[in-house]
């Protein structure tokens, strides 16, 4: 049934899965599923309605009939998107549908990601020169000219799995080998993706969701980190960057942040700066914070009543 759903509807259902509560228990869904009518449930919660006598949707004011053919997991929906990408890439370059799909996912950020990967990871075929006037600003870029041993690899982070889908499509188009790690994958699949990235010299890119890949992973095989979008809490980004910048890393690690000028991302950058200053002040790492967090002679006299 999922293969018959229009791609636009699949994307909408995926968006609902990532942002809604279970309509039965009102908690963040465990093993989440979404119905054709757009309501999200825990798999266990909705199973009772699928197997019981009353098989109508339990969401308020919804009486749609439920069945196993109209209840989808996130993995099922993502396979539907992947099938769409695979089908489009197999068409002739003169196929109208294929041309529309390629045009649809041609963005300045995707071009910038490919430019970084191809120029520093030495993978794939050349792309058209990136136009900086398109509004995509690259920050924190300081690539090392030092010679290094072993393949040069990159980690691409995004907080949106749908954004990773678009990068994945472009990597496939340019024949760049990659692995992916996000919250929808099983533990064994994640372990295999990490192992392949760390050991296979042909795999030069790892696509990671920011929350799933920002802790506990050793990815020192990579020496480039690309942040596709910003998170308001800079420590979350720092933890993600530390997947590559950690003990065992023998090469300089460079970070590329891609932002769009004159958008909310400008304000997120400003918010990050404020939070970094706040932390620095609390730990006495700046001039004002130092005086506020250190005991002065006058403070000591007051404490000991001298």
Which CATH superfamily does the domain covering 2-78 fall into?
Zinc/RING finger domain, C3HC4 (zinc finger) (3.30.40.10)
Residue 4 DSSP symbol: G
- Surface-to-core class of residue 305, CB atoms within 10 Å of its CB (0-12 exposed, 13-18 middle, 19+ buried): exposed
Taking the domains of the chain in order of start, what are their residue ranges? 2-78, 107-260, 268-300
> For residues 21 and 45, what is the distance between their CA atoms, to the nearest angstrom?
12
Q: For residue 73, give the 3-state DSSP assignment.
A: strand
Q: Cα dist. 224→5, 14, 84, 173 in Å?
A: 38, 30, 30, 21
SS3 233: coil
- pLDDT tens digits along 167-220: 888 888 888 899 999 887 888 888 899 999 999 989 999 999 888 776 678 888
Residue whose tokens read 């991302």: 265
| CATH code reported for the domain at 107-260 | 3.40.50.300
pLDDT greater at residue 227 or residue 146: 227
Shared fold status for 2-78 and 107-260: no
- pLDDT tens-digit readout, 112-122: 888 888 887 75
pLDDT confidence of residue 85: 47
């Amino acid at each position: 049934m999922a293969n018959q759903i229009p791609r636009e509807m699949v994307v909408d259902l995926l968006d609902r899965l990532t942002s809604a509560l279970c309509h039965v228990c009102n908690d963040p869904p465990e093993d989440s599923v979404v119905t054709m009518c757009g309501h999200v449930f825990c798999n266990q919660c909705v199973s009772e309605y699928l197997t019981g006598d009353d098989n109508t949707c339990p969401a308020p004011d919804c009486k749609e009939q439920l069945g196993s053919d109209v209840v989808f997991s996130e993995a099922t929906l993502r396979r539907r998107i992947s099938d769409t990408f695979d089908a489009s890439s197999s068409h002739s370059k003169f196929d109208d549908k294929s041309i529309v799909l390629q045009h649809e996912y041609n963005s300045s950020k995707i071009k910038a990601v490919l430019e970084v990967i191809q120029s520093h990871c030495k993978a794939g075929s050349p792309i058209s020169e990136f136009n900086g006037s398109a509004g995509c600003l690259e920050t924190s870029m300081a690539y090392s000219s030092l010679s290094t041993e072993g393949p040069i690899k990159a980690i691409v982070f995004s907080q949106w799995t749908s954004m990773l889908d678009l990068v994945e499509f472009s990597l496939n188009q340019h024949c760049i080998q990659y692995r992916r790690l996000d919250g929808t994958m099983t533990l064994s699949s994640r372990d295999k993706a990490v192992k392949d990235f760390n050991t296979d010299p042909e795999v030069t890119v790892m696509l990671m969701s920011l929350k799933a890949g920002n802790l506990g992973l050793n990815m020192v095989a990579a020496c480039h980190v690309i942040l596709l979008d910003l998170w308001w809490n800079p420590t979350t980004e720092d933890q993600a960057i530390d997947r590559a910048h950690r003990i065992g890393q023998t090469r300089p690690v460079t970070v590329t942040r891609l932002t769009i000028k004159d958008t909310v991302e400008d304000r997120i950058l400003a918010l990050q700066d404020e939070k970094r200053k706040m932390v620095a002040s609390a730990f006495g790492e700046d001039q004002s914070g130092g005086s506020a967090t250190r005991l002065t002679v006058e403070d000591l006299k007051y404490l000991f009543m001298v």
